[in-house]
Amino acid sequence: MSSPEQNPAFESTEVGRIDSSLRSTGVVFSISSALWLVFASFTGFLAYLQLAVPSMLEKVPFLTYGFLKPVADTALTHGWVTNAAFALIVWIMSRLSERAPDFDIRRYLLVPAGVVYNFMLTFGILAIFRGEARPFFLLEIPSKVMLSCSMAFSLITVWTILDYCRRKRRTAYISQFYILGAVFWLAWTFSITHLILGKVPINGVIQAVTASWFAHAYLWCWMVPVGCAVAYYLLPKLTGQPIRNYKLAFVCFWLLAFIGIWGGPSALVGGPVPQWIQNYGVIGSLLLAVPALGIAMNLLVTQAYAKQQPLETSSGSLYSLCSSPSGRFMGIGLLFLPLFGILTSTSAHPDHKETFQFTFWQEGIFYLGVYGFFTMVALAGFYFMMPRLTGREWPCASTMKFHFVSVFVGLLIILLGLFWGGFAHADAMANLDRDYTYISFITWAPVLFASSGFFLVAIGQIAFLIHLMSLIFAFPHSCFVGKEGPTFLAPEIDERSNA
Amino acid sequence: MSSRFPVFFILVFATVALPWGILIFKAEEQLVSLRPSTSKLEYYYVDKDGNEYDSADAANGLTKVSRNETGSPQFPIWRGGNALRGKYIYESYGCIQCHTQQVRQKDFGVDIARKWGGRQSVARDYLFDSPVLLGRMRIGPDLANVGNRLDAQALHKHIYRPVAVSAMPGYPSLYSVIETRGDGSHTALHFESGEYGAPRAGWEVVPKQDANDLVDYLLSLKQDYELPEARVVKAGESGGGSVATEEDEFAGNKVLSKGKKLYNTPGACVTCHQADGQGNEIAKFPPLAGSDWVSGSEDVIVRVVLNGLQGPIKVNGKDYGTVLMAPTIWVGWPDEDIAAVISYVRNAWGNKSPEVSAETVKRIRGEIGTRTTPWTAQELEAFKK
């Protein structure tokens, strides 16, 4: 399997035909998402480094923290998360509708959508560097640029619905529910929010309410559902076990659907917005722990069950957290979902907000969700998907190990730095005996620590990007000597084989 | 598990439509009626047919309705000119990544204890802000009231070269360091020799337009006024209590205490010259406290009050440009009231000049005759004895 030639046996199956028809889409979205992740991690590194060494780049104002932080966050979410989600959504949706396309609509709908989206996003990032950033978290890109992005979202939403409607089986998979929900939620919240902030003349705090609503919805109604769809789809294939409780999976979907979108205004607790809006936000965030724990429990129990009863195949145990690259990332990513839910939920409580609002603590929660949960699960998806789309094996096992170690260790360092910094920040802020500059002094070490984590992630991602390129373009190199390829698994197990 | 698409679609639509309708649409519905306000509300009563009454006892089944008290000054103040341009600089330099502009309630966090503001920020404070700059991170201190805490020099020095321990980068690109020629530029920053950030001898730091605008914007950040829903928190109070009444230092003098009341009438002197007599440097309203125009000859000040004054004008050595003062609500005031308010101004905030009598006002009215146009500074020089 170490040869870069394509696998003709796989090509001839129905699944193989579906996969190979998605090659162009997969290439566009996977390469662009990997590029954005490298860019986001590197700018994140530079941004946090400057909190520790503020005078470093002061001669170049557009590389100071105030410019780089929104660039890093935008590239991480709208660049990496959204592109990776598109790549995985299209693949999972096609697989689950079980039809190879008669007329390849994807090539004419999705590839242009992807190109337009990434082009506009680049334009938006340049606009931030030019000083046109908008002052709202995750909405920093100017509205006029982003409204054209929502056209790309609409194309992908339309394709997703079309693909769902022509599915072979009349029953639905849980992954399809998550994907359909997610594309709707993103397209709607995104267009509505940008219309309000960019076109409708609404002044004052309503803008802040809308922006906080969107930032929360982006994480919990787009990023998390896509992560869940990938996990629900991949975990049975990786473990050889069906999802333990398929009914609970649907219950949790509707819980997340009705709870997930409310929690935004909890970011404004204590601020200048009417109390009832804050209350909705706090309650919405507090309840979020329920679906998050439900989903995580269902997936983690499935994973644990597989460890007790490993499915024996000709090539040994099908699932192993250590040997399968997908399994490694998935196993770690799933652990962060309940953490993300619990931290989002507890940090919304007014007592907690009183101390930790406006500190690095909330940055820590954001990066825990994006890097910890989504990035890990999406990378698991990439490691599983890309060989099947291209029909080739990953060329290098040690690169994969290096990627995993650097991303995982980098993630831990980021989280440790930011949560430590959050504690120190909150403590120093409440200490009235100290001048406010004491905060810069006390958070110096944590911030420097966190920035080194971003650097590690960036290095790992560069390795991944090179690896991905050599897979897609079949660079003639290989470090697999006498080893079996890690990802091609003969039988693929359905997520509800016994449901 | 229903897989019927319409059902699924309607449910998913509801998950967006509900929070949208309740959170954002209802919030907009509630807040869209907010208007700038004086610090008091008036109440009146309406019946079912929409007739208005002044008292609750006038008829049965009346509902209490509030409206803004008419008059001025009304808050928040519309921000324009350089300060508005400075807001764009604030946005594009990403100041919001480290600074908030919101003061939380007294018992919620340490915002008021840290003297970031005298009261909680409320929705009305941000009425004219688009985009609103509440912020979500406090690596640096809150800036909702930075215009009360720091003066232009301190702000410029901090932006040019922040103190060494701060996590804030300097923005030297907003300043030119040039060789001093002659007396030097009048806008150059004043550094003591050897002060942190001072240029080498013979050189000076001159703010560029962007820096001046940014500082104008920062100086305009003041939530020092009171609103009906937000009172300044006094020591020992929890939450937003009522306004403590200020002691009247002129309680013994009928004329001065009447003058103080007239001065502070909404729409009168206080609108521009402020209750502390310091004026407003951004809007180019000159100070009255310590002003030689106020303390000098009574012939000058009475003429200014009666007919107004057209700039350019210099007060205490500072240039206030082509500011125009035109008589408004005091046009019809009797001579006694004009005399009282002038006497108050000549004796408040450390000013010590003789009071002006109603007879003097009457005499000067006669001398002015039918003239209605404002005086210029040059014309008034003739009356300075």
B239 or A394: which leads in pLDDT: A394
CB contact under 8 A, B172 and A59: yes
User: What is the C-alpha separation between B19 and A214, in angstroms, rounded?
Assistant: 11
Check CB contact of B35 with chain A, cutoff 8 Å.
Answer: no
- φ, ψ of residue B334 to 5 degrees: the values are -70, 165
Check CB contact of B241 with chain A, cutoff 8 Å.
Answer: no
Chain A partners of B122 at a C-beta cutoff of 8 Å?
A: 272
> In terms of Cα–Cα distance, which of A208, A217, A212 is closest to A189?
A217
pLDDT of residue A35: 96
Q: How far apart are the first and last CA of chain B?
A: 96
CB contact under 8 A, A437 and B128: no
pLDDT of residue B102: 93
With cut-offs at 50, 70 and 90, classify the pLDDT of residue B206: very high
Q: Evaluate if residue A329 carries a pLDDT over 80.
A: yes
Q: Do residues A181 and A235 make contact, with C-beta atoms less than 8 angstroms apart?
A: no
Chain B partners of A355 at a C-beta cutoff of 8 Å?
A: 109
Tens of pLDDT, residue by residue over A281-311, are 999 999 999 999 999 999 998 888 776 665 5
Chain B partners of A172 at a C-beta cutoff of 8 Å?
A: 1-3, 8
With cut-offs at 50, 70 and 90, classify the pLDDT of residue B219: very high
User: What is the C-alpha separation between A277 and A266, in angstroms, rounded?
Assistant: 8
Three-state secondary structure call for residue A320: coil
Q: What is the mean pLDDT of chain A?
A: 85
Q: Which of residues 89-108 of B touch A (CB under 8 A)?
A: 91-98, 100, 102, 104-105, 108
- B288–chain A nearest CA distance, Å: 34
pLDDT of residue A456: 96
Of residues B5, B91, B93, nearest to A61 (C-beta): B93
Q: Evaluate if residue A422 carries a pLDDT over 90.
A: yes
Q: Do residues A394 and A400 make contact, with C-beta atoms less than 8 angstroms apart?
A: yes
pLDDT of residue A245: 86
Contact residues for A486 (Cβ-Cβ < 8 A; gap 6+): A323, A324, A325, A393, A394, A397, A400
Tens of pLDDT, residue by residue over A428-456, are 998 888 888 888 889 999 999 999 999 99
Q: Which of A222-236, A253-267, B242-256 has the lowest mean pLDDT?
A: B242-256
With cut-offs at 50, 70 and 90, classify the pLDDT of residue B1: very low
Q: Which of A58, A196, A206 to mutate to test the interface with B (most CBs of B within 10 A)?
A: A206
pLDDT of residue A410: 96
Q: What is the mean pLDDT of chain B?
A: 82
Of residues A52, A192, A207, nearest to B130 (C-beta): A207
For the purposes of burial, counting CB atoms within 10 Å of the CB of A212, is it exposed (0-12), middle (13-18) or buried (19 or more)?
Answer: buried
Of residues B9, B12, B141, nearest to A436 (C-beta): B141
Over residues A458-474, the mean pLDDT reads: 91
User: What is the C-alpha separation between A40 and A157, in angstroms, rounded?
Assistant: 26
Q: Do residues A122 and A32 make contact, with C-beta atoms less than 8 angstroms apart?
A: no
Tens of pLDDT, residue by residue over B6-63, are 888 889 889 988 888 888 888 888 888 788 887 776 777 787 777 778 777 777 777 7
CB contact under 8 A, A64 and B137: no
pLDDT of residue A312: 53
Tens of pLDDT, residue by residue over A24-53, are 888 889 999 999 999 999 999 999 999 988
Q: Which of residues 162-191 of B touch A (CB under 8 A)?
A: 162-163, 165-174
With cut-offs at 50, 70 and 90, classify the pLDDT of residue B240: very low
ipTM, two decimals: 0.88
Q: Evaluate if residue A398 carries a pLDDT over 80.
A: yes
For residues A457-491, b (16+ Cβ closer than 10 Å) or e, as one string?
bbbbbbbbbebbebbbebeeebebeeeebbbbbee
Tens of pLDDT, residue by residue over A404-421, are 999 999 999 999 999 999
pLDDT of residue A412: 96
Q: Do residues A266 and A209 make contact, with C-beta atoms less than 8 angstroms apart?
A: no
Quick one: closest CA in A to B123, which residue?
A: A272
In terms of C-beta distances under 8 Å and separation of at least 24 residues, what long-range contacts does B198-206 make, across chains too?
A: B203/B177, B203/B178, B203/B179, B204/B177, B204/B178, B204/B179, B204/B180, B205/B160, B205/B175, B205/B176, B205/B177, B206/B175, B206/B176, B206/B177, B206/B178
Tens of pLDDT, residue by residue over B254-305, are 888 888 888 877 667 877 787 778 777 766 778 888 888 888 888 888 888 8
Of residues B28, B104, B171, nearest to A270 (C-beta): B104
With cut-offs at 50, 70 and 90, classify the pLDDT of residue A480: low
* HEC assignment per residue over A73-98: HHHHHHHHHHHHHHHHHHHHHHHHHC
Q: Evaluate if residue A315 carries a pLDDT over 70.
A: no
- Rounded (10°) angle between helices A82-97 and A224-239: 50
Name the H helices within A348-491. Answer: 350-356, 360-367, 376-390, 397-430, 437-442, 444-472
Tens of pLDDT, residue by residue over A120-173, are 999 999 999 999 899 999 999 988 788 788 888 888 888 888 888 877 777 778
Q: How far is CA B198 from CA A197, B185, B187, in A?
A: 42, 15, 15
pLDDT of residue B232: 78
User: What is the C-alpha separation between B142 and A130, in angstroms, rounded?
Assistant: 25
pLDDT of residue A160: 84
User: What is the C-alpha separation between A91 and B120, in angstroms, rounded?
Assistant: 51
